[in-house]
Structure 1
Amino acid sequence: MRLFYAIFPPREVQAALSQAQEKLRGYRGWKPSPPHQLHITLLFLGEQPPERLPELRRIGREVAARVRAFEVELGGTGYFPPSGSPRVWFVKASGEGLEPLAAALQQALPDLKAAPFKPHLTLARKKGPAPRVGPLLMNIRFHAKAVCLVESKLERSGSQYRVLEQFPLG
């Protein structure tokens, strides 16, 4: 099972972000992320055996319980990589609980080699040669209330996400 921990914004925020994705119209090569799948990845777990699910659920529950609900701010857009040919168009995320959540999950799972945490929501991925869309400033806020354990299935049409469990923040 391909898994990750994430925070999903509320539907109204997903709808506002889908309006930002409209900027991609007329720009060939970009594939927008489906609005209902927009999320902030806290820790990518990669392929995990189903037998490990009870442990991953316990860790998610324990870590989420130690962090109080907090406000997330979505700021400006950017690219990975920051220069050269872009592969990902994203919006930056910040909030007092993001770093503690990501760090606590990583500490609870020392066997995973995680990339440095860069809080963001992926708005689109490059499908082929694609120009850079001009910068946008979102200035959107929402309250993070839960951490989710998510399964990602790679399909021909793109990744499909299924929330396996939500863990309320403390």
Structure 2
Amino acid sequence: MSGKPATTRLFLALWPEQGIRDQLAQWRDAWRWPQGAASVPDDKLHVTLHFLGNQPSERVPEIMQGLAVPFAPFRLSLGQAKLWPHGIAVLEPHMEPDELLQLHADLAQALVALGLLPEERKYRPHVTMSRRAPNAIAPTDGPLIDWEIQRYALVESRPGNGGYAVLKYYT
């Protein structure tokens, strides 16, 4: 009797170095969180580019190779705290750099070439600060985070409390 084929839950992200991660954590800690809010741990702070979902584990090497796309390094300036519907607290960029939008589009084409479907909704770059925070109070201002983007990552989301693991950096 055979079970279901093994799968790996994947996403593409801008994955911060420690200095940027520390600044993101400072922003997160500046919010006033309601009881029951689920703040994102420091090691999970990132900007998602594309969510790939559960993929057959046997395809991971092919997916890794197929997602290598050239891109121009760019600066992402984060500093707008927002509360989205359904209690999602985020930090958004002041503007969406053209290079970020091009990287997102190029990765969408790479996903299609791999037979995967990118999400259809409009891309809204952000760092999730917390979930289940409908009455959170966002800081009115904070330090501008100037993040020099030199790479992106293919990340595995491990089930349960397994956290995230970067499978590959692309430069």
SS in 1 for 2:137: coil
- The offset of 1:113, in angstroms, is 4.1
Question: Do the aligned partners of residues 135 and 25 (structure 1) sit closer, same or farther apart at CA in structure 2, a change above 3 Å counting?
Answer: closer
Once residues 31 and 69 of structure 1 are traced to their aligned partners in structure 2, the CA distance between those partners, rounded to angstroms, is 32
Moved more, 17-26 or 32-41: 17-26
Once residues 33 and 45 of structure 2 are traced to their aligned partners in structure 1, the CA distance between those partners, rounded to angstroms, is 22
SS in 1 for 2:155: strand
Note if contact 1:150-1:165 (Cα within 8 Å) is conserved in structure 2: yes
Once residues 43 and 68 of structure 1 are traced to their aligned partners in structure 2, the CA distance between those partners, rounded to angstroms, is 18
- The offset of 1:13, in angstroms, is 1.7
Dislocated runs of 4+, deviation >6 Å: none
- Cα offsets for 1:31-88 (capped at 9, x unmatched): 1111121111111000100122122212222x1xx2121111102011232xxxx331
- The offset of 1:30, in angstroms, is 1.3
One-letter identity of the residue aligned with 2:40: S
Once residues 41 and 123 of structure 2 are traced to their aligned partners in structure 1, the CA distance between those partners, rounded to angstroms, is 22
Q: 1:146 aligns with which of 129, 138, 151?
A: 151
Report how many aligned residue pairs link the two structures: 157
One-letter identity of the residue aligned with 2:72: R
One-letter identity of the residue aligned with 1:70: F
- Cα offsets for 1:66-124 (capped at 9, x unmatched): 2121111102011232xxxx331000133332111111111122231413211001111
Q: 1:68 aligns with which of 66, 72, 75?
A: 72
Once residues 125 and 164 of structure 2 are traced to their aligned partners in structure 1, the CA distance between those partners, rounded to angstroms, is 19
In the other structure, the counterpart of 2:126 is 120
Q: Which of the two has higher C-alpha Rg?
A: 2
Note if contact 1:73-1:141 (Cα within 8 Å) is conserved in structure 2: yes
1 or 2, which has the higher strand percentage? Answer: 1
Once residues 33 and 131 of structure 2 are traced to their aligned partners in structure 1, the CA distance between those partners, rounded to angstroms, is 15
Note if contact 1:71-1:96 (Cα within 8 Å) is conserved in structure 2: no
TM-score, length basis structure 1: 0.82
TM-score, length basis structure 2: 0.82
Unaligned runs of 5+ in 2: 1-7
